[in-house]
Structure formats: C-alpha cells, structure tokens
Amino acid sequence: MRIYLDNAATTPLDPAVLKAMLPYLETYFGNPSSIHTQGREARTAVENARKTIAKLLKCSPSEIFFTSGATEADNTALIGSVFSLGVKHIITSPIEHHAVLHTAEWLQKKGFAEMHLLRLDEMGRVDLTHLESLLQQYKGALVSLMHGNNEIGNMTDIAKVSVLCKQYGGFFHSDTVQTIGLYPIDLQKLEIDFIVGSAHKFHGPKGVGFIYINAKNKIEAFVHGGAQERNMRGGTENVSGIVGLAKALEMAYAEMDEKRLKIGSLKRLLAHRLIQTIPNILFNGDCMNEEQSLCHVLSISTSKHEGNEMLLFNLDIEKISISGGSACTSGASAGSHVLNEIGIDPDRGAIRFSMSKYSTEEEIERTVQVLARLFQ
C-alpha cells in the first residue's frame, strides 16, 4: 500500500462525493441553460450546490461564483479589483501562492497597478505594522494575504487583517484554499471582500472551485461569453464538479472539528518522531506553532546530505508520496520561492508532509523509519 502525505497538493476523492457526482455524469446530463426538463434538472443541481456552500460559509448564494479552481478565483479577485473597483495598489506578501503573486506581477508589468510586498519576520510571519503603514500610504489598496500557507503552514490572522483593511478603507482578499473545510470561516463575522476555495483540496474533484465576492463589490464579467453565473463567467457549468464541490464541503463541515483534532495529533506525532530520529532537523517557518499554523502541514529541512537530491525519488520508490517545496510548482527547475524568502539554505533537503483524514499513525511511523534509513 502506498502512503500518501501530499494532501496540501491534492486530496483523494471521497467515495461519497463520487457517488453524489455520478448521476450528473450519467443520468442528469442536461445543460443548465436549456429550458427543457433535463436542463432544469441540471440547473436545480447547480443552484442547490450554491445554496449549500453559501449556508456553510454564512453568506448569500448570490455572493458565490463557481470557477475552474482557485487559480482562476485568485486571478478574478485581483484583476476584478483593479479593473472594476479602482484599485491601484496591491499589498501582498512574498510567500503567497503564484496564483496571487504572478497575477499581481502581471498587473504591475502592464501598468495597471503597483505591487507592494510586506516584510516577514524570521519565521515567515507577516509584519502587520508594515501592513498598517502601507494601508495608510496607499488608500483604497487591495490586500491579498493567504489564510494558510501551502508550503510552510503559517497562518495569517485574517480577522485582524480585515479590521486593519476596514480602518484604512482597503479591500481584502484571502486565498483560503488550504483552510476551507478544515477551519471555520463565518462570513457574517468576518468582513472580507473575497475568499476562494478549490474542491480537490477537501476530497472533492479537480477543476472546480469558487470565489466569494462580497455583495458590496460589483465587478465586471471575468470570462466573457454566455450569461452563466449571472453574466459573470460565460461557459457551460461543470455540473458534476459543482455537485461534488458542494457535497465535499458539506462533508468537510460535518467532520471539521474531529478532523482537525485527528490530523493535528498526527502532526504532533510526526514532529516528535522526526526530532527523535533524524539528526539536525529544522522546522521551516512557523509550522511548530500549534495556534498559528495549519494542522495538516509540516515542513522540514534536513541537514546537508549527499542523498538530499534523490530524497523524494527514494521515498517514492519506498511507496511514500511526499513533496519537497510546493507541489503546485513541481517540475519547475527553480526552487521554492517560499523557502527562499524565509532564508532556508537550498543545500538542505526540504520536505513538506501534509496529512488528511485518511492518514494514520502507522503511516507516520513507517515514513519516519524509511527517512531514518535514508539518512544513515
């Protein structure tokens, strides 16, 4: 049996989600824009999914728009803010996902907006004093800060950031991809302009996600074409994907507290066993801070070792799937921008473990033993 510890990259589809999706691939195949019975069946499924998601996040269904995933949703938040809300300055951090960083860089390169990067401390935590001074300087800026970092697990206090943004009249977007379905987000209490989610991160299908756009923000269509998604995103809806997204989120909410506890205790066990077993191990960023780091992500640097280059490959041969830096950019020759930014020596080996509800203590133990053998 393979051990899968790469759940920040993607999670396995829950069989109950697949079961909910299948009728919309086999029986209810109508186009939601068609007015006949089959079309109306598909339309009902899409709108019910929207209502389910809105109820879980405590917002209005009209504030949820389906997308092809979080990359599209992040692009929409940034580009929509610049083109429709008059945003001229984007304040973000150097350790955001490329879906945010590359979009902000593109907007700057084309002369549509200026990008400002926040200072980080030695643990990779965002300097909120710097944020406050930039918000003061650039009135009406968009702040884009992720809730949980996919590579090192650092969490941002989005409630605090939202208060600062409100105080200085800024807009706030948070990439909540790694926390949706794992941490409660209550949009009645949190004043935020945009959050995003991607189904495959919480045991749903790939290629489907959503953006929450606060009703006070009117942005123009982000994909031009048909009248789908209330004229905001043309293109026939991914009906089975949308049904799977809603089912996966519903299940994630039902098991959220129990799941966080279970995964958190696996992370504690893993850290403890790694300290006991692997010499000179370092924990990257703030991932050992139980309060302010993702319960499912543990990022380590190993000592300089001749086997480092082949580490992930050797783990794969041992039937253990784990990532180095970010799996989202795997295959790219450049190392992880996040580890570079927090000053991790590139000669050390970097491993990101990420657990899910399916992970077990036995898997953690076997992984540590294999690593110990590789480091002998």
Give me the residues that bind ligand PLP (CB under 6 A), please: 69-71, 97, 99, 146, 150, 175, 177-178, 198, 209, 328
CB of 65 vs ligand PLP, minimal distance in Å: 14
Nearer to ligand PLP, 10 or 302 (CB): 10
CB of 240 vs ligand PLP, minimal distance in Å: 17
E-strand spans in 199-302? 209-213, 282-283, 297-301
Provide DSSP, 250-262: HHHHHTHHHHHHH
CB of 54 vs ligand PLP, minimal distance in Å: 20
Specify whether the CB–CB gap between 3 and 369 falls below 8 A. Answer: no
Nearer to ligand PLP, 34 or 321 (CB): 321
SS3 123: coil
Please tell me the distance from the alpha carbon of residue 104 to that of residue 64, in angstroms, as a whole number. Answer: 23
Nearer to ligand PLP, 30 or 325 (CB): 325
Token duo for residue 365: 């133990």
Please tell me the distance from the alpha carbon of residue 371 to that of residue 14, in angstroms, as a whole number. Answer: 29
Enumerate the active-site residues: 328
What DSSP element (H or E) covers 104? helix 98-109
E-strand spans in the chain? 3-4, 64-67, 89-92, 114-117, 142-144, 171-174, 194-198, 209-213, 282-283, 297-301, 320-321, 350-354
CB of 209 vs ligand PLP, minimal distance in Å: 5
CB of 198 vs ligand PLP, minimal distance in Å: 3
Burial of 292 (0-12, 13-18, 19+ CB in 10 A): middle
